[in-house]
């Protein structure tokens, strides 16, 4: 995949703004609704949000550090890496998507959560928007970030943004399905 780097940043900004908007709408709901689960091992809306917060706790500082330390100037084309593209595309929400196993450290099931969880997620989205703006000054291809898979496994910054933002969208879709189920009852 090769695309205009400015277009990619704009696309990711729009996706993040939409994610933030959905989270703001969750703030209007009561905690009982936000903590309701479809089944014993499924996640509630707040558990979906907390899962994303746990990933944000790793990726946002990692991205910020790599942008700050990057000596490579912005280039007009973004070229996805083989692994990074695979990881990012695997996170895109799609009809009939299968569940994925998550790391135990990133699994919030049966956590005691409240609205602070959503507030934290919104703050992370605002930070992501700032990082996307700052990324306009660095090479999205040559600037590398570590992953949660293994600290020595690196992907390029553009793929890192795509992975995190698509992952956010995937779990907000999951949260919306949980809400839709309970609204339908």
> Contact 48/174 with Cβ under 8 angstroms?
yes
pTM value? 0.94
Report pLDDT for 184. Answer: 65
Confidence of residue 5 (pLDDT cuts 50, 70, 90): very high
DSSP string, 98-141: PP----GGG--TT----THHHHHHHHHHHHHHHHHHHGGGS-TT
pLDDT in tens, 156-169: 999 999 999 999 99
Strand pairing report for 154-156 and 144-146: antiparallel
Tokens for 25, please give them: 């709408």
Mean pLDDT over each residue of the chain, to the nearest integer? 93
pLDDT single digits (tens) 42-51: 999 999 999 9
Residue, of 41 and 23, whose pLDDT is higher = 23
Which residue segment(s) compose the domain that 110 sits in?
A: 2-183
Cβ neighbors of 102 (< 8 A, separation 6 or more) are 51
Q: How many domains does the chain have?
A: 1
CATH of the domain at 144: 1.20.120.450
């Amino acid at each position: 995949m090769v695309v205009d780097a400015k277009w990619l940043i704009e696309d990711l900004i729009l996706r993040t703004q939409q994610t933030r908007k959905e989270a703001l709408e969750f703030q209007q709901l009561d905690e009982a609704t936000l903590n309701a689960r479809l089944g014993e091992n499924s996640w509630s809306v707040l558990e979906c949000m907390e899962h994303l917060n746990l990933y944000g706790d790793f990726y946002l500082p990692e991205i910020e550090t790599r942008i700050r330390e990057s000596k490579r100037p912005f280039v007009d084309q973004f070229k996805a890496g083989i692994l990074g593209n695979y990881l990012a595309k695997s996170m895109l929400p799609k009809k009939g998507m299968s569940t994925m196993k998550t790391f135990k450290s990133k699994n919030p099931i049966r956590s005691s959560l409240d609205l602070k969880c959503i507030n934290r997620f919104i703050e992370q989205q605002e930070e992501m928007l700032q990082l996307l703006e700052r990324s306009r000054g660095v090479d999205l291809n040559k600037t590398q970030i570590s992953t949660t898979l293994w600290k020595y496994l690196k992907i390029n910054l553009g793929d890192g943004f795509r992975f995190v933002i698509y992952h956010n969208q995937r779990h907000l879709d999951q949260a919306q399905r949980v809400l839709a189920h309970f609204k339908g009852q």
